[in-house]
């Protein structure tokens, strides 16, 4: 293992009716609030009214920033920063999915920073320690943004999707009520399930050694998703399945399985580049790219993919090489994702080879990306071509 520091102070308020915790939690941070939400799903499910009632009970002054896009945009973040500065607000309540929460984190970090918030998003400068405090109400299982310090923002003018990570934007608390996720439509439920699995993969396929516990925790999350997702997509109103998936999503990306290892993240960098150019749903892009990434790296390091096959997809290793097991594991993963209705080709989203160069360029944060198997530009171009 590598040396590591770990601190995750986010308080989780999990279960039915936990929305009523807002009036207890928020006053510690102030009563002048920016309420951030997305395109309207929270109004359809009656959550907006519940939140407003909670805020009324504590006599809060509320300014709203609605309409945060899936794949949240820099321009929206800049609007949020201005609203906080103009109205001297002291707390951000983000109600929605990963996009809303990520947008809120970038706003939080941008307020005390004199320069352009894009400097923070692209990690040119660190998020300030006096970032505005955030609380969240998560409405869709997947990103884990409710318990991590990541924020992923798109600059649509330059077709760049960048991310930063900082403990200073970790939510102070997050409400996780599985009932609020029951209205998530089938396609978004599939994308969330894929995203959770891919977060495990990114950390499972690390460039370090001697991390058996972290890997076993990851495998437990994967097995739980594989057991639950097929039942959930055929029974979207099932509370028990929703609660299992919600906790899976949180634990898959809250730092637990990244302890002591250097995660890979190539698949995510490539997907972020695809959605920065074509604005497709994150989990949909991941479902297409991850198996092609695995095929590419299996040629160099099949062993961990073989391990995944045996421990997660219950493959029989008798008499098989790592390369054979890895090939079977990748096929099992493809079959599983196809069985729950995930997309399999970029052309499913109408994407052809025209923008391959731009997407390759945008994937390369450095000359090489990834740590399980470092990828060159040429490798990334091939993975994208195979994904078409």
Residue choice 10, 41, 189, 214 for contact with ligand NZQ (CB under 6 A): 41
**Tokens 């995930």, located at residue:** 342
- Shortest separation between residue 194's beta carbon and Zn ion, angstroms: 9
- 130/32 Cα distance (integer angstroms): 16
Contact call for residue 189 and ligand NZQ (CB under 6 A):
no
Give CA–CA dist 184/171, Å, rounded. 22
* 181 in contact with ligand NZQ (CB under 6 A): yes
The answer to whether 104 contacts ligand NZQ (rule: CB under 6 A) is no
For ligand NZQ, which residue of 183, 238, 324, 386 counts as binding (CB under 6 A)? Answer: 183
Q: Is 39 in the site for ligand NZQ (CB under 6 A)?
A: yes
Does position 145 interact with ligand NZQ (CB under 6 A)? The reply is: yes
155 binds ligand NZQ (CB under 6 A): no
282 burial (CB, 10 Å; 0-12 / 13-18 / 19+) is buried
What residue 40 binds from ligand NZQ, Zn ion, none (CB within 5 to 8 A, per partner kind)?
ligand NZQ
Interacting stretch for ligand NZQ, rule CB under 6 A, among 169-177, 178-186, 311-319, 328-336? 178-186
Is position 60 an interface residue for ligand NZQ (rule: CB under 6 A)?
no
Select 253 or 315, whichever has its Cβ closest to ligand NZQ. 253
Binding to ligand NZQ by CB under 6 A, coded x per residue (else -) over 270-289, reads: ------------xx------
Size of the site for ligand NZQ (CB under 6 A): 35
For residue 174, what are the β-bridge partners? Answer: 12, 136
Binding to ligand NZQ by residue 184, rule CB under 6 A? yes
The entry of Zn ion, ligand NZQ, none near residue 214 (CB within 5 to 8 angstroms by kind) is none
Query: What residues pair up with 173 in beta bridges, in sequence order?
Result: 11, 135
- Among candidate residues 113, 165, 133, the one with its CA nearest the CA of residue 5: 165
Checking 356-361 for CB contacts under 8 A at 24+ apart, the result is: 356/381, 356/384, 356/385, 357/381, 358/159, 358/277, 359/270, 359/273, 359/274, 359/277, 359/384, 360/273, 360/384, 361/273
Contact pick of 71, 76, 166, 387 for ligand NZQ (by CB under 6 A): 71
- Pick from 21, 76, 136, 148 the residue near ligand NZQ by CB under 6 A: 148
Q: What is 280-320 written as a DSSP string?
A: --HHHHHHHHHHHHHHHHHTT--HHHHHHHHHHS----TT-
The answer for residues whose C-beta is within 8 angstroms of residue 34's C-beta and 6 or more apart is: 62, 63, 64, 65, 80, 83, 84, 87, 89, 91, 92, 93, 104, 107, 132
Q: How far is the CB of 274 from Zn ion (least distance, A)?
A: 12
Nearest to 66 by CA among 108, 21, 96: 96
Q: Does 150 bind ligand NZQ (CB under 6 A)?
A: yes
The contact set with Zn ion (CB under 5 A) reads: 195
**Which residues of this protein are in contact with ligand NZQ, per CB under 6 A?**
38-42, 45, 70-71, 96-100, 102, 139-140, 142-145, 148, 150-152, 180-181, 183-184, 188, 192, 195, 253, 268, 282-283
């Amino acid at each position: 293992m590598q040396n590591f520091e770990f601190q995750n102070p986010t308080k989780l308020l999990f279960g039915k009716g936990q929305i009523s915790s807002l009036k207890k939690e928020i006053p510690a941070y102030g009563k002048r609030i920016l309420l951030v939400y997305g395109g309207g799903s929270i109004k359809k499910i009656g959550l907006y009214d519940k939140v407003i009632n909670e805020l009324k009970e504590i006599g809060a002054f509320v300014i709203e920033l609605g309409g945060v896009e899936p794949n949240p945009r820099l321009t929206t973040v800049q609007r949020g920063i201005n609203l906080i500065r103009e109205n001297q607000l002291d707390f951000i309540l983000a109600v929605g999915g990963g996009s809303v929460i990520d947008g809120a984190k970038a706003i939080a970090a941008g307020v005390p920073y004199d320069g352009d918030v894009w400097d923070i998003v692209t990690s040119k400068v660190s998020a300030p320690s006096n970032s505005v405090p955030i609380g969240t109400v998560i409405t869709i299982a997947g990103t884990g943004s409710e318990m991590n310090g990541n924020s992923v923002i798109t600059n649509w003018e330059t077709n760049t999707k960048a991310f930063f990570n900082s403990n200073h934007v970790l939510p102070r608390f997050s409400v996780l009520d599985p009932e609020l996720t029951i209205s998530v439509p089938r396609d978004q439920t599939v994308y969330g399930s894929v995203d959770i699995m891919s977060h495990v993969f990114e950390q499972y396929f690390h460039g370090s050694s001697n991390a058996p516990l972290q890997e076993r925790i990851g495998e437990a999350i994967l097995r739980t998703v594989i057991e639950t997702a097929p039942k959930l997509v055929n029974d979207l109103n099932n509370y028990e399945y929703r609660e299992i998936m919600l906790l899976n999503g949180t634990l898959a990306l809250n730092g637990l399985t990244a302890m002591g290892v250097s995660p890979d993240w190539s698949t995510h960098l490539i997907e972020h580049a695809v959605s920065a150019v074509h604005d497709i749903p994150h989990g949909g892009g991941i479902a297409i790219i991850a198996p092609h990434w695995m095929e590419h790296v299996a040629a160099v390091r099949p062993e961990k993919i073989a391990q995944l096959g045996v421990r997660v997809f219950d493959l029989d290793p008798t008499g098989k090489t790592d390369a054979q097991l890895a090939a079977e594991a990748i096929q099992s993963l493809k079959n599983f994702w196809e069985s729950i209705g995930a997309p399999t080709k970029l052309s499913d989203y109408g994407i052809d080879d025209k923008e391959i160069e731009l997407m390759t360029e945008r994937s390369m944060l450095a000359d090489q990306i990834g740590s399980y198997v470092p990828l060159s530009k040429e490798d990334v171009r091939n993975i994208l071509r195979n994904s078409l």
